[in-house]
Amino acid sequence: MVIKKYIFPFIILVLNLLSTVNAIESGNILVASKLLDDSSLEKTILLVVYNEDDGFLAIAINRPTNVNLSELIPTNLKYNNHNVYFGGAEEPSKILALIDNPKEPINDYLPIFDNVYLLSDIDLINEFNHDENSIRFFAGYFSWDIKKINKDLELGLWVIEENNSDILFANNPLTAWFELNPEE
Mean of pLDDT values over 61-65: 94
| Domains, the chain | 2-180 (3.40.1740.10)
The answer to whether 161 touches 180, Cβ cutoff 8 Å, is: yes
| Low-confidence winner among 2-16, 51-65, 138-152 (lowest mean pLDDT) | 2-16
Amino acid at 153: L
pLDDT at 138: 94
Mean of pLDDT values over 148-170: 88
Q: Whole-angstrom Cα distance, residue 167 to residue 152?
A: 23
Q: Whole-angstrom Cα distance, residue 21 to residue 19?
A: 6
The answer to whether 169 touches 143, Cβ cutoff 8 Å, is: no
DSSP annotation of 72: H
pLDDT at 8: 47
| pTM for the predicted model, two decimal places | 0.82
pLDDT tens across 24-43, in order? 888 999 999 999 888 899 99
Mean of pLDDT values over 151-180: 88
**Average pLDDT over the chain, rounded to an integer:** 81
DSSP annotation of 178: H
Q: Phi and psi of 74, rounded to 5°?
A: -75, -10
In the predicted structure, residue 169 carries a pLDDT above the cut 80: yes
pLDDT tens across 124-136, in order? 777 767 777 788 9
